Amino acid sequence: MPSNIHSHESREEYPPTLRYDVTPSDRDVIKRIVEGTGFFRTDEISVAVELIDERLKKGDASGYYFILAEMVGIVTGYACYGPIACTLGSYDLHWIAVDPAYQRRSLGRILLREVERHVLQNGGRHIYIETSGRPQYIPTRSFYQQCGYQIAAVLPDFYDRNDDKVVWRKIL
């Protein structure tokens, strides 16, 4: 095994493994990943960590489910999803983020497919994703479209002036 697992070659050599439980040590890792993307404000990063805390405290009763991608024992990305309260078969994808050092290796696509598989397995029929309409999110929106999601709604100036909420939906 290469000694420098952060080298370009070693990241491509090892396929990701998926883990479905979160541990207290994942709090700092997920915070680092979300911060590292450069997309999120401090309050948004805090919410990502709060969802882990809820899962750790309440388990399944929290309504938050996690899938973590690991490469050579390092968490390189994650997704958080859960059923939408007061719906039958609708789920939210709350978070999906990949460490910038590991992007462009299909980890996001692998995580999203695994979320879809779990949602279907649990009787889900729809997945909703909310994202920003800012130009910075063009690649993110393109990713969702390539994965078969369609825009269900756009809420103008939702997050801030000139920052729309774009709601994506996929029927499973």
pLDDT tens track, the chain, 172 positions? 333 344 444 445 568 999 999 999 999 999 999 999 999 999 999 999 999 999 999 999 999 999 999 998 899 999 999 999 999 999 999 999 999 999 888 899 999 999 999 999 999 999 999 999 999 999 999 999 999 999 999 999 999 999 999 999 999 9
Q: What is the reported pLDDT for 160?
A: 93
Closest C-alpha among 137, 106, 113, 111 to residue 37: 137
| CB-CB contact of 11 with 71 (8 Å) | yes
Q: Which residues contact 70 (CB under 8 A, 6 or more apart)?
A: 16, 17, 18, 19, 76
| CB-CB contact of 97 with 44 (8 Å) | no
Q: What is the reported pLDDT for 145?
A: 97
Q: What is the reported pLDDT for 13?
A: 53
Q: Which residues contact 93 (CB under 8 A, 6 or more apart)?
A: 79, 80, 81, 112, 115, 127, 128, 129
Q: Give percent helix, percent strand, percent coil of the chain, each to the nearest 5.
A: 40, 35, 25
Q: What is the reported pLDDT for 72?
A: 86
Q: Which residues contact 26 (CB under 8 A, 6 or more apart)?
A: 52, 66, 68, 75, 78
CA 158 to each of CA 113, 161, 164, 165: distance values in angstroms, whole numbers, following the listed order: 28, 8, 5, 5
Instruction: Give the pairing of strands 90-98 and 65-71.
Output: unpaired
Tokens 């450069």 identify what position? Answer: 38
Q: What is the reported pLDDT for 5?
A: 40
